Amino acid sequence: MPDEKVFNYINGGWERSASNQILEVINPASGKRLAEVGFSTPSEVDRTVQFAYQAFMDWRKTPAPERIQYLFRLKDFLEENFNTLAEIITLENGKTFSESKGELRRAIENVEVACGIPLMTQGGFNEDIAPGIDEFVIRQPIGVCAIIAPFNFPGMIPFWFLPYAIATGNAVIVKPSERTPVTMHKIFELIDQLDFPPGVVNMLHGGPGTVNALLDHPLINAVSFVGSTPVARHIYTKAAQNGKRVQAQGGAKNPIVVLPDADMETSTQIIADSAFGCAGQRCLAASLAITVGEAKHNFTEAISDAANERIVGFGLDQGVQMGPVISTQSKERIEGLIQKAIGEGAQAIIDGRGTKIKGYETGFFIRPTVLDNLNPDGEVAQTEIFGPVLGLLHVNTIDEAISLVNSNKYGNMACLFTSNGASARKFRNEAEAGNIGINIGVAAPMAFFPFSGWKESFFGTLHGQSNHAVEFYTQTKVVIERWPKEWSRKF
């Protein structure tokens, strides 16, 4: 079991927040208390940033090959503690053990990619841009960086940023979600054993007040955020107003298009995993399935069966395929949206409301839900549900399907299921979303690709992971040089 208390990690040491604002961390499968977390105050934020800034001044001068040695050891520690960390994710987030292991695998993959920083930060050099004059570009770290994370991937999302930020020579402050802070606490226990110079890697717990103090702090130079769209917009606006570099990934409402020529059996399994995996609490969860022509009947029947068959329960129990949603408020909100969709004309052909799981009666469970004939102009078709609910829409042509996809205000992911290469090519070219899946239900980029996102799913220019993260955490400096020997000869 995790620790009862979750502490801040500041300047290489553990500190309990002096705040009297405390939140209980709840196991969503049991509804029982797991831990408690304090909301760091503006003065705790200020102290941490000051320490981080001091640490940055030396860390930036530490050669990159030396900096990445810490990452190699971090990878080893994460591997050695893999199952323990995955268990903690399941306990505080609710997802199944295998889903928890999946997110940790991607976290580790990001550490591995960031170990290539010495190559990835190479600049460019032109000799003799004019007689005796050379010009080159170098990449330098940006300073103290804040990483603000959501609850749904507590072990993975900080790693879209953290390994790149420190490998490129920055100091970081991680602010995990206050609803799932235990995973990062455990990971920071491992980081603590790596003996980073104090202040290079810090963690502050808290909520909006803590985040806003980070956004207002003049010594924070870059902000990486992942969370819901309204908060992403707020972070982007406030951080930019304060002159910071910012990347803010937001919410989603992901459409999946099923053509009649798709392999219906395999496609349905993949789409069910996308819609109901992680209890639908994935920014890449399928939320709308748009069938084209004859796909309607086969798919509607097959997805209803898949939804019905999914085994729901406590994520550490054998055979469980889907866990609870994060909180009782979330469960109520999702159940309210199902009711609203019905009010807007949809039929709940599979209705997961009011679920009770034997032995976990106080958990926040909703079974998979399928809403047929969702009103495309209704509120629910436009709203991120973030629960195991799939809405079905039916059209006659791929063009109609693509125009429905593109009418979505979000642009995180869009997927197509087909056996036709020309349809796939058309979709890939025309669909307005940052991550595209062709016969893939969760188009989650590997760590060596950026995690994209368009429209209201992303505010900024450079995304997390890979070369985008490297560019985000570095600033380019262009140098033009002439040396005395040359100017005496040519000038």
d(CA 199, CA 172): 8
What distance, in Å, lies between the first and last C-alpha atoms of the chain?
73
Supply φ then ψ for residue 343, to 5 degrees: -60, -25
Sign of CA dihedral 83, 87, 88, 90: positive
Asked if residue 226 binds ligand NAD (CB under 6 A), the reply is yes
For the CB of residue 360, give the shortest distance to ligand NAD in the complex, in Å.
Answer: 22
For the CB of residue 323, give the shortest distance to ligand NAD in the complex, in Å.
Answer: 16
Judged by CB under 6 A, the chain residues 259 through 298 that form the site for ligand NAD are 283
Q: Toward ligand NAD, which CB reaches closer, 295 or 413?
A: 413
Exactly one of 85, 107, 231, 415 binds ligand NAD (CB under 6 A); which one? 231
Question: What is the crossing angle of helices 42-59 and 208-216, to 10°?
Answer: 50
Asked whether the beta carbons of 230 and 48 are under 8 A apart, the reply is no
d(CA 164, CA 224): 12
Closest CA to 39 of 183, 210, 180, 203: 210
Asked if residue 217 binds ligand NAD (CB under 6 A), the reply is no
Asked if residue 94 binds ligand NAD (CB under 6 A), the reply is no
DSSP code, position 293: T
Catalytic residue among 145, 278, 283, 415: 283
Exactly one of 186, 234, 331, 468 binds ligand NAD (CB under 6 A); which one? 234
**Residue 19 Rama label (left phi>0; alpha psi -120 to 50; beta):** beta
Q: Toward ligand NAD, which CB reaches closer, 227 or 255?
A: 227
Q: Toward ligand NAD, which CB reaches closer, 181 or 352?
A: 181
**3-state SS class at 455:** strand
Asked if residue 457 binds ligand NAD (CB under 6 A), the reply is yes
d(CA 485, CA 491): 10
Asked if residue 453 binds ligand NAD (CB under 6 A), the reply is yes
Exactly one of 123, 197, 198, 207 binds ligand NAD (CB under 6 A); which one? 207
d(CA 346, CA 362): 29
Sign of CA dihedral 392, 395, 397, 400: negative
Judged by CB under 6 A, the chain residues 363 through 422 that form the site for ligand NAD are 384, 386, 412
**Helix segments in 310-347, DSSP class H:** 328-343
For the CB of residue 157, give the shortest distance to ligand NAD in the complex, in Å.
Answer: 6
Q: Encode 41-64: b = buried (16+ Cβ within 10 Å), e = exposed.
A: beebbebbbebbbbbbeebbeeee
For the CB of residue 149, give the shortest distance to ligand NAD in the complex, in Å.
Answer: 6
Q: Toward ligand NAD, which CB reaches closer, 250 or 363?
A: 250
Judged by CB under 6 A, the chain residues 152 through 171 that form the site for ligand NAD are 152-153, 157
Please spell the DSSP secondary structure of 399-450, one letter per residue. HHHHHHHHH-SEESEEEEE-S-HHHHHHHHHH---SEEEES-SS----TTS-
# residues near ligand NAD by CB under 6 A: 30
For the CB of residue 160, give the shortest distance to ligand NAD in the complex, in Å.
Answer: 8
Question: Which helix (H) or strand (E) element contains residue 172?
Answer: strand 171-175
For the CB of residue 69, give the shortest distance to ligand NAD in the complex, in Å.
Answer: 30
Q: Toward ligand NAD, which CB reaches closer, 295 or 380?
A: 380
Among the residue ranges 142-150, 162-170, 299-307, 367-375, the one whose residues contact ligand NAD (CB under 6 A)? 142-150
Exactly one of 45, 148, 191, 322 binds ligand NAD (CB under 6 A); which one? 148
Exactly one of 54, 212, 327, 467 binds ligand NAD (CB under 6 A); which one? 212
115 belongs to the catalytic site = no
Q: Tell me the residue number closest to ligand NAD, measured at CB.
A: 227
Asked whether the beta carbons of 467 and 442 are under 8 A apart, the reply is no
For the CB of residue 402, give the shortest distance to ligand NAD in the complex, in Å.
Answer: 22
For the CB of residue 133, give the shortest distance to ligand NAD in the complex, in Å.
Answer: 44
Judged by CB under 6 A, the chain residues 238 through 257 that form the site for ligand NAD are 249-252
**Residue found by looking up tokens 């924070």 in the block:** 220
Asked if residue 19 binds ligand NAD (CB under 6 A), the reply is no
Closest CA to 103 of 51, 38, 150: 150
Exactly one of 9, 56, 151, 314 binds ligand NAD (CB under 6 A); which one? 151
User: Which residues contribute to the site for ligand NAD (CB under 6 A)?
Assistant: 148-153, 157, 175, 177-178, 207-208, 211-212, 226-228, 231, 234, 249-252, 283, 384, 386, 412, 451, 453, 457
* Residues labelled as active-site residues: 283
